[in-house]
Structure 1
């Protein structure tokens, strides 16, 4: 009863299909029309059943308090779980972890090298000589007084140095001379 003639797909040659329809007998055409009506009715029934099932599903979800946002969250969580279970993710994760460890070790060793180099420079004869010259210059400029002192002592020493000066500074008053 049923023929297995191929149904033309979108874009196929319709002229070839028309030629096949002309070779059908009136009885075969009537049988195909009945079958077409039956299939259309089944499709309509299935659509109605599907709509009823979807309505029932929505009602159950509403009663359970499941909304679209929660469903989306669950789908994302499930998808992420599926992704993390793949071998590609595991390999990538391991590789990135190893790269991070190597980078951390490299930065640590760079820091150690810089610290050692700075210590070497500080202990070098050139730096020691420079340091001594700075200390000598400091003692010549500031005298042999210990570094520091309070503000009043600095002002007094500056005032006494100014008093011994041959040229008075414009800011000096008569009292300080």
Structure 2
């Protein structure tokens, strides 16, 4: 069951194609690829021409990108999905603000706030007192270290 080396079996789905059909398909493929190449060349020439026109008009790439981004943002904001999401977000924010206000005005929160304020003030006083005490001890140690004391006969004035 040998197949000649120049004959390659081809299948389009379920039916083998004849040699004549194969040649026609090859010609059509080559023609299509040439058309694609021509279209690419034309497109590249048009892009280059557009860039030259933009340069003459003073449109910078940065301005162009900025404009495209603004257009995209406008399209997103005009979309139905964005508008529905914005409505839900606004309603959620309003609900949270209302609940926060209710919680802040509750007696439990006010009691907690009062106790927390008292604890904070007590801690502040204790810390201040400790710092003052420590700085007083340190300054008395520093003054003792700076004034040398000589041992001698006790003063008669005392």
TM-score by length of 1: 0.44
More relative contact order in 1 or in 2 (CA 8 Å, sep 6+)?
A: 1
